[in-house]
Structure 1
């Protein structure tokens, strides 16, 4: 591998891990951070300005707090001829906005969503999905692969973030469910450590059901009904009552039951629970193709 220069903007936990990973592969690295002290201990060139850091390398990796911070850091910077890889979390529209800005300023833009904790960057436990410029992906794929497993999702810069917000929503839903389960267990004198192995076993057994639900949602066909809306409406009502009686109500359960109720009230009670997704008003074809 040739040792092309690489710039990293942002030296939070993720940005620092990125810079260190590139350094270990013998790439000359230039870094910039609002607080220069964050660069302490890095064997990298520390730029005094973001503009100076961007000027030092063709490949510029951005890893700052949020979309607004990324906009502020890049504002007024000459990015012409640069490959911008933005690993900052944001919405799909945020990514598309920056992609348009990059194009208008002569740069190529690739957006990434990171599935790793900073300590695992550069190991087999790290994976990053990308979308946007295919030219950046192809030109810099070896360097990007240093950070973790690379998956390119296509030229829509917002697609990686589309996956990301959906996956994170599922993750936080799971974490919220776990915390509520732990509270319910504790209300009944059961330790969270005793509950968790049984909960994990049950969640593992649910994997085939999620695959079936996904097929039903994609096909917009819910006639299977093995886990019907009416059955789950009754189960949710019981769970909500039990949680309230034990002093640990959980609004997420009420919200889910409201989606189910809407479908049952429309005469769909014998259809699959997956049909509740239609109550969310998902514009599934908005960015088709």
Structure 2
């Protein structure tokens, strides 16, 4: 591994883990943070402490940015000379925010790569860490070995917003799963069943459902829902029963009600015998109506 200099802007739990990983990899690492105390801690581990963002950016060709949100990223970079720098932004945000910062970087003479991190800070630099990137292919190719120190590297294309596009979709699925589990635990508790009793059976059932998700994905991408084994009408009845049951147990869930409403919309339009996967069209229709409004 060569020892190119690397700068890390932002030393929250994730930023600190990134900087420590680069230091272990033998890279001269310059760090900056709004709070000087966090910079001092890393300086004792071998990092170079920069007193300003401009000083930190000047120190390295590769600049990693990981701050609270898009607004904070804009504030950190405002007025800073980034010409000739490879700017890798690991700050969470929307696809449009990533594209906005990519345009700013291009206008200011830098190349931009956006990343979405799938790891907790403790696993950065291990096989359990992965980061999806999109944006400048030149940055990805030039710095791939250095970025690989942080975890598995997946490049999703030159649209800077694509990594965030995957990220918000994945997080939507994750929080839907967590919300469903927490509601399931509450329903179980209302029925005198402990969460630890419930979880093994729930996990087994969810695991068995994995093939269905792949089938749904194919149906969604093709737009063909006619051959569905799990029909909308059947699931409409099942969801109605579930709504009654959780209401009686005192643990209704707005997420369940929303899903039922989306299924109802498709059934009302005459698609009751088609696949449950067609419910995605209800989500898309609602989104289109909001944008149109």
TM-score bracket, shorter-length normalisation: over 0.9
Is 1:90 the counterpart of 2:90? The answer is: no
CA root-mean-square deviation: 1.0
Aligned mates of 2:261, 2:83 — CA distance in 1: 51
Following TM superposition, the consecutive aligned residue runs of length 4 or more in structure 1 with deviations greater than 6 angstroms are none
Cα deviation digits, residues 209-243 of structure 1 (max 9, x gap): 00000000000000012000000000000101111
Is 1:161 the counterpart of 2:164? The answer is: yes
Find the counterpart in structure 2 of residue 287 from structure 1.
none
Aligned mates of 1:200, 1:32 — CA distance in 2: 43
Which SS does the other structure have where 2:99 is aligned? helix
Which SS does the other structure have where 1:129 is aligned? strand
Q: Which runs of 5+ in 1 are unaligned?
A: 285-289
Is 1:31 the counterpart of 2:31? The answer is: yes
Aligned mates of 1:70, 1:153 — CA distance in 2: 22
Identify which of 183, 186, 192 aligns with 1:183. 186
1:40 to partner: Cα distance = 3.5
Find the counterpart in structure 1 of residue 276 from structure 2.
273
1:39 to partner: Cα distance = 2.2
Aligned mates of 1:237, 1:75 — CA distance in 2: 53
Which SS does the other structure have where 1:61 is aligned? strand
1:2 to partner: Cα distance = 1.1
Find the counterpart in structure 1 of residue 17 from structure 2.
17
Aligned mates of 1:232, 1:278 — CA distance in 2: 16
Aligned mates of 2:205, 2:114 — CA distance in 1: 35
Identify which of 107, 118, 132 aligns with 1:115. 118
Identify which of 228, 233, 237 aligns with 1:230. 233
Which SS does the other structure have where 2:225 is aligned? coil
**Comparing 273-282 with 200-209, which one deviates more in the overlay?**
273-282
1:62 to partner: Cα distance = 0.4
Aligned mates of 1:263, 1:21 — CA distance in 2: 50
Cα deviation digits, residues 110-164 of structure 1 (max 9, x gap): 0000000000000000000000000000000000000000000000000000000
Find the counterpart in structure 1 of residue 255 from structure 2.
252
Aligned mates of 2:116, 2:78 — CA distance in 1: 22
Aligned mates of 2:262, 2:13 — CA distance in 1: 39
1:89 to partner: Cα distance = 0.2
Equivalent residue pairs, number: 284
Aligned mates of 1:91, 1:57 — CA distance in 2: 27
